[in-house]
Amino acid sequence: MYNSRIIAVVGATGSQGGGLVRAILADPASDFRARAITRKANGEKADALRKLGAEVVEADLDNEASLAKAFDGAYGAYCVTNYWEHMTPAKEVSQARNMAQAAKTAKVEHVIWSTLEDTRLRVPLTDSRMPTLMEKYKVPHFDAKGDADVLFAEAGVPTTYLLTTFYWDNFVYFGMGPKKGPDGKYSITMPMGNARLSGIASEDIGKCALGIFKQGKQWIGKRVGIAGDHVTGAQMAAAMSKALGKEVAYNVVTPEMFRGFGFPGADDLGNMFQYYTEFEKEFSAARSLDTSRSLNPELLDFNSWLAKYKDRIPEA
Ligand SMILES: NC(=O)c1ccc[n+]([C@@H]2O[C@H](COP(=O)([O-])OP(=O)(O)OC[C@H]3O[C@@H](n4cnc5c(N)ncnc54)[C@H](OP(=O)(O)O)[C@@H]3O)[C@@H](O)[C@H]2O)c1
């Protein structure tokens, strides 16, 4: 039947889920329909999705029954948590459990769980190269997602484990864009030395997810990593200098300095960058550009992301 299969999208008003809803709506030839899930069905973002043609339903990740209702009748579900809203790993795990159980109740046929590596598999808590945080984690917003992987398998829901990565949109929205120093020169600051960072345009996460739903069953039970490019800080700074028409330097700091910046989550992100750096090979190998492009032929590399979004990078 034409337009018959519903994909229920958690985080539809956000970056990952919003990208998926837009990708589904932009592809009327596919037989998928988008059901956008939000806590605020009457909010502006929900309205915008409704106007584009999405069905909008309300559910809360803290309420399993509301999720089961939102997943009811859906073929697929995109499941994502927002760690940064609460910065509590146990809450992230509990929200993932609610999604897994709700998908089971609703008999969803294909779940995509947006996850990240459990960094403790490579840096056990006894490893002192980076501090242990909140007693149980090295990179809490990665490790909690890794902890949650098993919940989908235990619930018996057909799941694809989607390993996302650093959004370049962080240069626009997450305070990571070029900053003017006391000498009047601009720089981006990252504790990554000469290592390559696997990055992606956040809109491409949803587009890749749509590719996974379309390719279907072959991805069930699999882990698939995605990225748009693997580029060093120096390469990103050089590309920004060209795109923005002003010199942007790469300000290399140590992970320890980054952890000491003191903003909420600086220690988590400092550990994350250290992990990206010290496991550069493994991290990028888990995120094949070819596979990402086969899921999403429109995949942006860093230069094409910059060309599209450079005007949104704030002057600071
Ligand atoms: N920034 C990065 O570079 C990066 C890279 C990889 C992974 N991540 C991960 O991405 C996740 C965030 O995804 P995002 O960037 O797409 O988020 P986002 O743009 O900040 O939007 C958050 C979304 O989550 C929904 N949400 C949050 N709490 C909810 C709840 N209790 N019930 C229902 N919906 C809820 C929000 O919906 P409403 O507000 O409309 O209800 C909203 O749609 C984080 O866990 C982060 O660790 C980030």
> Each residue of 192-219: pLDDT tens digit?
999 999 999 999 999 999 999 999 999 9
76 vs 99: CA distance, rounded Å: 12
Q: What is the pLDDT of residues 218-245, one digit of tens each?
A: 999 999 999 999 999 999 999 999 999 9
pTM: 0.98
When the pLDDT of each residue in the chain is averaged and rounded to a whole number, the result is 97
What pLDDT band is residue 3 in, cutting at 50, 70 and 90? low
Give yes or no for residue 1 having a pLDDT over 50.
no
Q: In the numeric block, which tokens belong to residue 96?
A: 């993932």
Residue 311 is given by DSSP the state G
Q: In which region does residue 181 sit, left (phi positive, over 0), alpha (psi from -120 to 50) or beta (all else)? A: beta
Give yes or no for residue 72 having a pLDDT over 70.
yes
14 vs 6: CA distance, rounded Å: 19
Higher pLDDT, 1 or 179: 179
What pLDDT band is residue 4 in, cutting at 50, 70 and 90? confident
Specify the pairing of strand 229-232 against strand 196-200.
Answer: antiparallel
DSSP sequence for 251-297 = EE--HHHHHTT-STTHHHHHHHHHHHHHTHHHHHHTS-HHHHHHH-T
The finding on whether 61 has its CB within 6 A of some atom of ligand 1 is yes
Q: Which of ligand 1's atoms lies nearest the C-alpha of 60?
A: 32
Residue 137 is given by DSSP the state B
Kindly give the distance from the C-alpha atom of residue 184 to the centroid of ligand 1, in angstroms, as a whole number: 35
The finding on whether 17 has its CB within 6 A of some atom of ligand 1 is yes
Residue 89 is given by DSSP the state H
Residue ID of nearest Cα to ligand 1 atom 28: 82
Q: What is the mean pLDDT of residues 254-282?
A: 98
Order across the sheet with 229-232: list the strands. 166-167, 196-200, 229-232
Residue ID of nearest Cα to ligand 1 atom 44: 82
The finding on whether 287 has its CB within 6 A of some atom of ligand 1 is no
Q: Cβ atoms within 10 A of the Cβ of 198, count?
A: 24
Q: Exposed (0-12), middle (13-18) or buried (19+): which is 253, by Cβ within 10 Å?
A: middle
Q: What is the pLDDT of residues 10-52, one digit of tens each?
A: 999 999 999 999 999 999 899 999 999 999 999 999 999 999 9
Give yes or no for residue 2 having a pLDDT over 70.
no
